């Protein structure tokens, strides 16, 4: 059983976060709230999202799984303004999700969740931690987008740097330690990532929030940030690009 | 993407977990292992391997088993997924550059030899008619990849025609039709594991019917025994013919073995083929059937007389003549035999005429399209252009890309037309260059009769007008 009411902007945030990586997703609901974990089709990124029941205006649920076509949900939510209230109800028998926005009711067919994967979040040793405002990061990304399709994230004891080297041009974005919320790293670490993924992930962070990144050398990055006015959490994992010849 | 199965399919349930469990095709398996072993020493020169072969010969199973043996993750692009250039770049392209998170959320790194195998199933069958980009995207993905890639094809030519680079970028492993014995042994094994008593002759029947398609045979077995615990007799009609050719082959066999004119004629009575088609089969197989030159000559003589009637039928539109044609190609041919039939061929061949026609279908298609495009411009029939103008145009085009671009701008050529004239692939570099040149000519950057920019010519004409 699942029945909830939420402000549209919160659901839109969730859709933004998830649609970055997958078209279809399995949400798990229980009495405490809603969670989702998924790996993207190219197997290079993962999302782990949780939304506490306080993020909703009303929330009632037993443990169950709901398979949703994310694009479809996103399209429908476009009909709602940010502070509109959206009602959700899971019809287990007909395998549909009933969504009400104002005067509109949509019965949305759900996706069968048997056979959909259930990834665990891997336990990775990532020695460096850095916290940056999302708007700052986005500026660095924007500067890089025309230069190359991959970006290096470098954390060292004195600062954090994003650098992008194309065939012709190079772009460096750098912040010294004093300008960063948190910067902890025993030594310098560097990993290279696909720019498009990194940028799409950042674009789902709401403006003005802080993003915490955990990094290693030639190792994945774990990005953590809050959604739904701190009542939800997102962790993105992105695998590094293979640089060496092995 | 994932559809609920009411009941687990045996083809999935009994899919081999390791290459050592894959039946038959030892040569192909060895080639795959050799290729995979290269990856343990770093990126090999050929980062992809193409598995070629008929349906149900074990290509997909071998690819998945290989990944399992080597501890690699699998990213599979199935025929059921929507596949075009964009999705190949997004999934195979992006996935092949980076390290891996598995579906279970495990992180794999190539530093520890944990790779991601990208499997593109039915790679010969990806792209819509118009979309040359899909094959190109595959070639590009292989070129840039940091991870192993397996392409699976039924028709290698259909893929390499669109992306000839694949020929040099990818290794090859050939899968052959499985023998009936192999198929029977697998079916028997499944029956044992399902606790099912199925008579050996039923298995033999299923195997023969499947004609070397193991997946087909397993599906047939499951359909027949579902919900039972034993099976001694089987209604073969329920199976349907997996392979219509086997029926035809049986008829040919009866015809060639016939001792009387009547037997030879009756052998092909139930075959659902026109005499026009049947004659191709007989023609193809006369050399397999008759070994002595005299017999062969007599057989072809009968066949040629039959062919005369086929032509008369077409000319006069009098289908009554078909019966004479048919008589001559069956009874007439079988009468050629003078010595007893000692060595019937183990397998009859598919008409090579049909194979050649189907191989050249796209070329003939492009020729027809190009001819009818030129027809109104040259005030000549498409047929005549096809036979006597195109060869010259093609020679001109090969020697002078500029000229080709100018013609193209005039007659509105597309990639297919240009590739036909140049004798290359629509995706090749030459074609792209000419297309670019054509675009420039059309937009007026270059005047059709020279490299001079339009602006200069305008100046020139103005100065002439000043006089």
Chain-chain contact of A39 with B105 (C-beta, under 8 angstroms): yes
Residue B117 is given by DSSP the state E
Residue B127's pLDDT is: 55
Residue B132's pLDDT is: 61
Among B353, B370, B396, residue at a domain's last position: B353
Chain-chain contact of A119 with B116 (C-beta, under 8 angstroms): no
Chain-chain contact of A122 with B95 (C-beta, under 8 angstroms): no
A49 closest CA partner among A239, A228, A238, A244: A228
A121 exposure class (CB count in 10 Å sphere: 0-12, 13-18, 19+): middle
Residue B232's pLDDT is: 65
Q: What is the CATH number of the domain that holds B44?
A: 3.40.50.300
Residue A114 in contact with partner chain B when CB distance is under 8 A: yes
Could you give the count of Cα atoms lying within 13 Å of B379 in the half-sphere of its Cβ?
A: 0
Q: Is residue A36 part of a domain?
A: yes
Element (H, E) at B373: helix B361-378
Same domain, B372 and B331: no
Same domain, A132 and A233: yes
B152 closest CA partner among B179, B183, B118: B118
Residue A145's pLDDT is: 87
- Measure the CA–CA gap between B444 and B454, rounded to whole angstroms: 6
Residue B454's pLDDT is: 46
Same domain, B161 and B183: no
Q: Is residue A221 part of a domain?
A: yes
3-state secondary structure (DSSP) of residue B98:
strand
Residue B107 has its nearest CB partner, among A41, A239, A246, at A239
Pairing of strands B48-53, B149-153: parallel
Q: Is residue A117 part of a domain?
A: no
Same domain, B344 and B395: no
* Structural domain that includes position A142: 128-238
Same domain, B400 and B413: yes
Q: Is residue A244 part of a domain?
A: no
In this predicted structure, the answer to whether residue A154 has a pLDDT above a threshold of 50 is yes
Inter-residue contact B342 to B237 (CB < 8 Å): no
Same domain, A104 and A132: no
Q: Is residue B89 part of a domain?
A: yes
Same domain, A82 and A48: yes
| CA B435 remoteness from chain centre | 28
Same domain, B46 and B101: yes
Residue B364's pLDDT is: 83
Same domain, B219 and B155: no
In this predicted structure, the answer to whether residue A167 has a pLDDT above a threshold of 80 is yes
How many structural domains compose chain B? 4
Chain-chain contact of B90 with A39 (C-beta, under 8 angstroms): no
- Measure the CA–CA gap between B132 and B165, rounded to whole angstroms: 13
Q: What is the CATH number of the domain that holds A26?
A: 3.70.10.10
Q: Which residues of A touch B38 (CB under 8 A)?
A: none
Inter-residue contact A117 to A47 (CB < 8 Å): no
Q: Is residue B155 part of a domain?
A: yes
pLDDT, mean of residues A187-198: 93
- Measure the CA–CA gap between B94 and B110, rounded to whole angstroms: 16
Residues comprising chain B, all counted: 467
Interface test with chain B among A25, A40, A41, A49, by most B beta carbons within 10 Å: A41
- Measure the CA–CA gap between A31 and A1, rounded to whole angstroms: 10
- Measure the CA–CA gap between B103 and B226, rounded to whole angstroms: 32
Cα of first residue to Cα of last residue in chain A, in angstroms, is 49
Same domain, B392 and B423: yes
Q: Which residue of A has its CA nearest to B75?
A: A42
A245 compared with A158, residue with greater pLDDT: A158
Structure tokens at B6: 């009411």
- Measure the CA–CA gap between B77 and B329, rounded to whole angstroms: 48
Q: Is residue A114 part of a domain?
A: no
Q: Residue B307 — φ and ψ, nearest 5°?
A: -65, -35
Same domain, B171 and B183: no
Same domain, B61 and B171: yes
Q: Is residue A189 part of a domain?
A: yes
Question: Helix, strand, coil shares of chain B as percentages rounded to 5?
Answer: 60, 10, 30
Chain-chain contact of A39 with B103 (C-beta, under 8 angstroms): yes
Q: Poorest-confidence range of A3-17, A135-149, B177-191, B239-253?
A: B239-253
Same domain, A100 and A162: no
Residue B146 has its nearest CB partner, among A43, A116, A242, at A242
* Structural domain that includes position B51: 24-175
Residue B461's pLDDT is: 45
Same domain, A150 and A85: no
Same domain, A100 and A183: no
Residue B449's pLDDT is: 53
Structure tokens at B163: 């992306």
| Cα A243 to Cα A216, B304, B417, distances in angstroms | 14, 67, 41
Same domain, A12 and A104: yes
pLDDT, mean of residues A176-189: 88
Q: What is the CATH number of the domain that holds B222?
A: 1.10.8.60
Residue A131's pLDDT is: 93
Same domain, B168 and B28: yes
Among B325, B353, B381, residue at a domain's last position: B353
Chain-chain contact of B94 with A114 (C-beta, under 8 angstroms): no
- Measure the CA–CA gap between B62 and B350, rounded to whole angstroms: 28
Say what the ipTM of the complex is. Answer: 0.86
Q: Is residue A151 part of a domain?
A: yes
Residue A24 in contact with partner chain B when CB distance is under 8 A: yes
Same domain, B222 and B322: no
Same domain, A132 and A232: yes
Q: Residue B306 — φ and ψ, nearest 5°?
A: -60, -40
Residue B340's pLDDT is: 83
Q: Which residues of B touch A244 (CB under 8 A)?
A: 111
Same domain, A40 and A105: yes
Chain-chain contact of B98 with A44 (C-beta, under 8 angstroms): yes
Which residues of chain B are at the A interface, by a Cβ-Cβ cutoff of 8 Å?
Answer: 1-4, 42-43, 73, 75, 90-92, 94-95, 97-107, 109-111, 116, 146-147
Chain-chain contact of A240 with B1 (C-beta, under 8 angstroms): no
pLDDT by position in tens, chain B (length 467): 333 344 578 888 899 999 999 988 999 999 999 999 999 888 889 999 999 988 888 999 999 999 999 999 999 887 666 677 888 888 888 899 999 999 888 899 888 889 999 999 888 877 554 456 788 888 999 999 999 999 998 888 878 877 888 888 999 999 988 888 899 999 999 989 888 888 888 888 888 888 888 988 898 888 887 766 666 666 555 565 555 556 788 888 888 888 888 888 888 887 778 899 899 999 988 988 888 889 999 999 999 999 999 999 999 999 899 999 999 999 999 999 888 887 777 777 778 888 777 777 777 888 888 888 888 888 989 888 988 888 898 899 888 888 888 888 888 888 888 888 888 877 788 888 888 888 888 887 665 554 444 444 444 444 444 54
Q: Is residue B15 part of a domain?
A: no
- Measure the CA–CA gap between A193 and A220, rounded to whole angstroms: 8
Same domain, A17 and A99: yes
A203 closest CA partner among A225, A182, A179: A225
Residue A245 has its nearest CB partner, among B43, B98, B109, at B43
Q: Torsion angle of alpha carbons B222, B225, B227, B232, nearest 10°?
A: -170
How many structural domains compose chain A? 2
Same domain, B37 and B165: yes
Q: Concatenated DSSP letters for chain A?
A: -EEEEEEHHHHHHHHHHHHTT-SEEEEEEETTEEEEEEE-TTSSEEEEEEEEGGGSSEEEE-SEEEEEEHHHHHHHHTTS-TT-EEEEEEETTTTEEEEEETTEEEEEEPPP-TT---PPPP-----EEEEEEHHHHHHHHHHHTTT-SEEEEEEETTEEEEEEE-SS-EEEEEEEGGGSSEEE-SS-EEEEEEHHHHHHHHHTSPTT-EEEEEE-SSS-EEEEEEETTTTEEEEEEEPPBP-S--
Same domain, A141 and A90: no
Chain-chain contact of B100 with A116 (C-beta, under 8 angstroms): no
Same domain, A99 and A189: no
Element (H, E) at B121: none
Among B353, B376, B392, residue at a domain's last position: B353
Could you give the count of Cα atoms lying within 13 Å of B283 in the half-sphere of its Cβ?
A: 17
Q: Which residues of A touch B111 (CB under 8 A)?
A: 218, 244, 246
């Amino acid at each position: 059983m699942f029945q909830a009411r939420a402000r549209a902007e919160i659901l839109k945030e969730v859709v933004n976060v998830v649609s970055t990586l997958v078209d279809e997703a399995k949400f798990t609901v229980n009495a405490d709230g809603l969670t989702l974990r998924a790996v993207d089709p190219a197997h290079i990124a993962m999302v782990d999202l949780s939304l506490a029941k306080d993020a909703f205006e009303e929330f009632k649920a037993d443990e169950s799984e709901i398979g949703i076509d994310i694009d479809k949900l996103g399209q429908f939510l476009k009909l709602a303004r940010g502070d509109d209230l959206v009602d959700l109800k899971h019809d287990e028998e007909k395998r549909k999700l009933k969504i009400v926005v104002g005067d509109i009711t949509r019965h949305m067919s759900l996706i069968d969740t048997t056979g959909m994967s259930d990834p665990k979040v891997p336990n990775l040793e990532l020695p460096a931690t850095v916290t940056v405002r999302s708007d700052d990061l986005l500026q660095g990304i924007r500067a890089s987008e025309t230069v190359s399709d991959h970006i290096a994230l470098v954390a060292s004891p004195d600062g954090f740097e994003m650098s992008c080297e194309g065939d012709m041009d190079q772009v460096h974005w750098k912040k010294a330690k004093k300008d960063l919320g948190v910067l902890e790293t025993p030594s310098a670490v560097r990993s290279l990532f696909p720019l498009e993924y990194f940028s799409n992930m950042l674009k789902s962070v709401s403006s003005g929030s802080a993003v915490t990144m955990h990094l290693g050398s030639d190792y994945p990055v774990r990005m953590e940030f809050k959604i739904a006015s701190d009542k939800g959490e997102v962790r993105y994992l992105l695998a590094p690009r293979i640089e060496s010849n092995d | 993407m994932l559809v609920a199965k009411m009941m687990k399919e045996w083809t999935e349930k009994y899919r081999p977990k390791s290459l050592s469990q894959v039946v038959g095709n030892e040569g192909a398996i060895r080639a795959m292992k050799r290729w995979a072993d290269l990856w343990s020493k770093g990126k090999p020169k050929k980062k992809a391997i193409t598995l070629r072969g008929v349906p149900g010969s074990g290509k997909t199973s071998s690819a998945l088993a290989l990944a399992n043996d080597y501890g690699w993750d699998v990213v599979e692009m199935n025929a059921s997924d929507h596949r075009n250039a964009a999705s190949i770049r997004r999934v195979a392209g992006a996935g092949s550059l980076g390290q891996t998170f598995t579906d279970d959320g495990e992180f794999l790194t190539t530093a520890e030899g944990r790779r991601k195998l990208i499997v593109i199933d039915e790679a010969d069958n990806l792209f819509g008619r118009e979309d040359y980009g899909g094959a190109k995207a595959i070639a590009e993905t292989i070129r840039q990849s940091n991870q192993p890639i397996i392409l699976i094809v039924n028709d290698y030519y259909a893929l390499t025609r669109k992306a000839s680079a694949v020929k040099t970028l990818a290794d090859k492993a050939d899968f052959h039709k499985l023998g009936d014995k192999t198929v029977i042994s697998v079916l028997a094994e499944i029956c044992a594991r399902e606790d099912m008593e199925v008579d050996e002759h039923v298995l033999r029947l299923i195997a023969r019917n499947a004609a070397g398609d193991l997946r087909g045979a397993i599906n047939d077995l499951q359909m027949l025994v579902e919900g039972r615990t034993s099976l001694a007799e089987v209604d073969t009609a329920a199976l349907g013919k997996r392979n219509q050719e086997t029926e035809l082959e049986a008829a040919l066999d009866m015809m060639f073995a016939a001792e009387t004119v009547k037997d030879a004629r009756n052998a092909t009575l139930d075959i659902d083929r026109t005499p026009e088609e049947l004659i191709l089969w007989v023609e193809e197989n006369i050399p397999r059937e008759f070994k002595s030159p005299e017999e062969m000559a007599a057989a072809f003589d009968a066949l040629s007389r039959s062919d005369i009637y086929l032509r008369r039928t077409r000319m006069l539109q009098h289908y009554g003549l078909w019966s004479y044609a048919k008589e001559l190609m069956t009874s007439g041919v079988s009468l050629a035999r003078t010595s007893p039939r000692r060595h019937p061929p183990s397998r009859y061949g598919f008409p090579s005429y049909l194979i050649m026609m189907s191989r050249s279908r796209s070329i003939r298609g492009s020729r027809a399209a190009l001819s009818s495009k030129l027809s109104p411009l040259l005030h000549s029939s498409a047929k005549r252009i096809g036979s006597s103008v195109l060869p010259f145009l093609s020679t001109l085009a090969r020697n002078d890309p500029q000229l080709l671009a100018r013609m193209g701008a005039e007659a509105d050529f597309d990639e297919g037309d240009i590739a036909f004239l140049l004798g290359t692939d629509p995706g090749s570099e030459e074609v792209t260059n000419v297309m670019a040149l054509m675009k420039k000519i059309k937009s007026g950057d270059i005047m059709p009769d020279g490299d001079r920019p339009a602006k200069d010519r305008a100046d020139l004409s103005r100065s002439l007008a000043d006089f």
